Structure 1
Amino acid sequence: MDEKLAIVLSYIQSGSVFMPFMFIAFHVLRQLLFIPVIVVCISGGILFGPVLGTIYSIIGLTLSNLCFYFIIGKFPKTRDKLFLLKDKLFGNHKPNSSQIAILRLLPFIHYYLLSFCLMESNKGIKHYLYVSFLTNIPLAFVYTVFGHSIANFSPTSLIIILVAIMFLLYLVRDRRNVVPWREFFRYRDKG
């Protein structure tokens, strides 16, 4: 086993021209292997450095979202499960793209649930891919650049970061209140 790992590491360190393509393909295949997005982004930072690792991760995540867009239509039961999970987590509220970009930073929120929310709010593949690209940038940047540092944070600092992210989610929320027609006139008749 150690020999195989040594061979893989020496191949990676040799700087093969195909390594970026293999890494991007690994991002796409990651969903089939049930490997978390964060692990792949951190490994991109280790293999390619913070700048190239971030760029390759953004490309890989966007291609992964493109595959998800086509695959989810072929599996209606999975789509229905994601819809139920979305309703359970968000209720009637549809998160906007800024909120999804921030929620993607939280490791315990399902990545493809957020992609499903993007699909529902963006009609058409072109706009979906554009918004997916934009919402993948913070995720790829944070976990590629700061991946090693996050592992060394104390529990207190992690809680502070999570509270700050939740506050940021509150700040970027949609600030509109929808009152159903009947409810509006019911309150108006009373007053």
Structure 2
Amino acid sequence: MDEFLDSSLAFIEQSGWLAPLFFILLHVFRQVFFIPVLIVCLIGGYLFGTLYGSIYSIIGLTAVSIVFYGLVRIFPGLSKKLTNIKQHFFKDRQDWNLPQMMIIRMMPLVHFHVVSLYLIETSKNIREYTNKSFLVSIPPAILYTAFGDMIHELPLAGTIVFAVFLFILFMLVRRKHSSISWEEFFHTKKP
């Protein structure tokens, strides 16, 4: 992985005006080489600065999500495998809102495609899915590009404080009401 990352970085640096295109393609192909989103966004900040690196990362992350949408449609077994991981994280909850998904996407330990699978399941069509994927990709792209080096170099205590902060933020933006149907509320056991 290190050799691929080093050679990709050198190739992108020497690409001139095509560098943004190759960087976006690096986002798309990073999953084949098991390169975390954090690392690719860090590279974007290093090569292009915070503004352009964030823009290219948002485009790349949205492109990855669209490719994933196509792969799930072509290979339904992929969806089944990720559903097990998704159930581990989400516990069959289907009521997360978009700000919560943005926060979850920023958490480095949550698999990128688990969030994408959730967005597929809660979207009516590819257009709605693409819009949600675009919006959910903005916070991690900006955060990892601008502050990625700081997050990557944090000591364990700093990482724990950051994770607690994200959890508190996650709980603050959650929906504060739930609906219970009449039948569920007055459900009685049959003898």
Q: For the superposition of Structure 1 and Structure 2, which TM-score range results when normalised by the shorter chain?
A: 0.7 to 0.9
Which residue of the partner structure matches residue 102 of structure 2? 101
Which residue of the partner structure matches residue 169 of structure 1? 170
Listed as ranges, the gaps of 5+ residues in structure 1 are none
Listed as ranges, the gaps of 5+ residues in structure 2 are none
Which residue of the partner structure matches residue 78 of structure 1? 78
2:84 counterpart letter in structure 1:
L
1:119 counterpart letter in structure 2:
I
Instruction: State the 1:12 CA deviation.
Output: 4.5
Number of equivalent positions: 183
Instruction: State the 1:7 CA deviation.
Output: 11
Residues 124, 146 of structure 1: alpha-carbon distance in 2 compared, 3 angstrom cutoff: same
Question: Does 2:39 correspond to 1:66?
Answer: no
Greater radius of gyration (CA): 1
1:80 counterpart letter in structure 2:
K
Residues 51, 79 of structure 1: alpha-carbon distance in 2 compared, 3 angstrom cutoff: same
Greater Cα shift, 77-86 or 104-113: 77-86
Which residue of the partner structure matches residue 45 of structure 2? 45
- In the TM superposition, 1:1-191 aligns within 5 A as 9=10, 12-14=12-14, 16-94=16-94, 95-186=96-187
Residues 7, 36 of structure 1: alpha-carbon distance in 2 compared, 3 angstrom cutoff: closer
Deviations 1:163-189 (A, max 9, x none): 1100111111122223243331248xx
- C-alpha RMSD of matched pairs (Å): 2.2
Deviations 1:128-185 (A, max 9, x none): 1111111101000010111112233232222111111001111111222232433312
Classify the secondary structure of the residue corresponding to 2:110: coil
Deviations 1:86-125 (A, max 9, x none): 2232123122221111011111100000011011111111
Task: State, as a whole percentage, how many aligned pairs show the same letter.
Answer: 38
d(CA) in 1 for partners of 2:70, 2:157:
41
